[in-house]
Structure 1
Amino acid sequence: MGLQRGCFAQAASGQTALRAADIASLDYPTVQTLFFIDRALRKVSDGDLSIRVFPDAQLGQETEVIEQLRIGAIDMARVNVMSLADVVPEFAVLGLPGTFLSDAHFDTFTGGTAGQVFLEHLEGTGFVGLTFLEGGTRHLYNRVRPIERVEDMQGLRLRTDLSSASGFLYRALGTTGVQLPLSHVLPALEARLIDGAIENIATYVALGHYRAAPFIAMTEMGRPPDILLISQRAWNGLTAGQRKLLKNTSGDARSFMKKSFEYWTRACMQQIRDRGVTQTHPDALLQPARGAIDAMLAQLDMMKWFEVVRSAQ
C-alpha cells in the first residue's frame, strides 16, 4: 500500500477534517466510537472540526497505519496498544495477564493520571495519544482441543503480535507464537498454519475465527486497551482551541466505547453458544507463566511501568 501524503484536509473554508483509520468493520464498536467523536466534534465546533472515518482497513493494517501516522501521511487512528508496542516497547506491559486487577482498576487507569503518564511517553514518536479506550478481555481459542489444564496448551501455535513481551508470554505458556496480521488469522487457521489465537470475544466472532477454532478457554489472558492516536503533524496543524475540543471529545468517548463493547460482547457470547462452540473455564491456567512474566519485566526494564499501572488502583 502506498503512503497517502497530505491527507490532513480543509473540508471547506475555515473547516478542518481529520482522516481517521480503523481496521474493524463499519458496525464494530471501535468504528462506531470514531463516528461518536465526529458527531461530538461537529456539534461543539459548530462544524469547523470533524473526522472522516475509514473502516475495514481501507488505509492499511495496523502496522501500516502506525507507520503512516508516524510520518504524518494520515491523521488519526484507533489501534490496540500491542500493535504500538513495537514502536514503544513499554506499552507491552498493558497487555500482560494480571496487569489490570478489575474493571474499576482498568477504568481508573484509562481515565486517570497513570494513563496520562503512558500517553505522554509517546512524545517524540510522531504520535500524540488522545485517550485509551476499552479493548476487551483476551481469551485463548484454538482448533485442536478444549483447554482444561496447563498441559493442554503445550505445543499450540498461536498468532501473536510484534511485541517482545508477547514472545516471553507464549514461551512461558509452552506455546509457539506466530506473527501474523489479524486479517490473516482465519485463513491461517483454515490452512492449519496456526492452531489458535488470543483475542477478545468480539473479534473472535466478528472475524469468524469461531468457525475454524471452536474451542475457547474463558480465562483472562490480558486486557490491552485500545488507544486513539493523532499524528504529530496533524496535531501541530490544529489551533489550541481545536486541540482542546478533540482531547475532550476523545475522553468522552471512553464511556460510549465501553457500553458499545459490553453490548457486542453479550451478543457475541450468545452467538457462540448458539453455534456450539466449546467453552471451558480452567483455573490457574496462567500460574506457570507468572514467574516468567516477572523475569521478563525485570529483564526488559519494564517493572517501573508495571508499577505505574498498579498505582491507578
Structure 2
Amino acid sequence: MPLRLPDKLPAIDILKHENIFVMDESRAHTQMIRPLKIVILNLMPLKVTTETDLIRLLSNTPLQIEINFMKLHSHTPKNTPIEHMKMFYKDFSVLSEQKWDGMIVTGAPIEQMAFEDVEYWQEITGIFDWARTHVTSTLYICWAAQAALYHFYQVPKHPLEKKRFGIFPQTPLDPLLPIFRGFDDVFMMPHSRHTEVWRSDIDKVDALRVIAEGPESGVSMVMAREGREFFITGHLEYAPDTLDKEYKRDAGKRDDVELPKNYYRDNDPAKGPLVTWRSHANLLFNNWINYYVYQETPYNINEIK
C-alpha cells in the first residue's frame, strides 16, 4: 500500500522517480481504509531533505500510512521557505488534539548547547510529555534522542573530543527483539554528532535498555516502555550523499575537517560514498511500523493511552 502525503509535497515527485508508490490526499480519500497515522516533528534545517529521507523509508511497508508534519510555535526555521512551512506543516496546538499511531522526532544542529538554553526547550518537552499519552510508539533520533533521555530519565549528554563523523558498525544486543528482525550480527549506522550518551549512565536507569552499540560509536539504540519509545543516536535515515554534502560544506569553511570514517570508497571523496547501511535502515523502519506501531495500536485510535 502507498503512503498518504499532503498534496504537492516536494518529496512526492522525488520519490516517484525512484519508483516508490506514494499517494496524495485527494486520491487517498477514495479508499476505504483506516491508515496508520504518523506525525513527524522535523527539527532539521533542510526540511525537504529530511522529509524525503524519512518518507523513503516509511514507504517500505505494505500498510497505508498517512504522514503529517508538525512544527514548533516557538521557533521559525531559517533554511526552509515560509511558504513550504505554511503549506505542509501544522502547529503542535492543532495536531495535539488528535492521537497518533506513531511519531518521529528528528535531530537538530544544537547538540553543543545546554538543553535548557535551547529556545524551544519548554515547548518540545511539553510535546515529549504529550506523546506518552497520545502516541503508540515514538522514534527519537540523534539530538531528539539525547533530549528525551535527559528529559524523561535525567541521562546527561557528554561532549566528544572531536566530532563523531562517518559510518560505524553496531551490534544488536538482543537479536531476538522484533526491531531487529532480519538484521545481521553487525550493521552499519551513520553518525554525525559532537556529543554522546554513556552506557554507564543509562545502566543506572531500570526503565532503559541499551539494545545496540558499537565499539567506536558507543550507544546507538535504547528502548523504553516495551518499545513505546526508541532513542537512536545515529542517522539510519540518511541518504547516500548526506555525509558527503556535510563534509564538503564544512571543508569549505575550516581546515580541520576530517573525512567521514568508513564512508568514501578507498577513503577518497572523488570516488563517492560506499553505501553500507541502506538495507538495515529499511528493515528498522519496517520493523518499527509493523511490530511496535501496527500490531500494538488500537483500531480505534482514540483508545491510545
Q: TM class by shorter-chain length?
A: 0.3 to 0.5
User: 1 or 2, which has the higher helix percentage?
Assistant: 1
TM-score normalised according to structure 2 size? 0.34
Higher strand share: 2
TM-score by length of 1: 0.33
Query: Structure with the greater relative contact order (CA < 8 A, sep ≥ 6): 1 or 2?
Result: 1
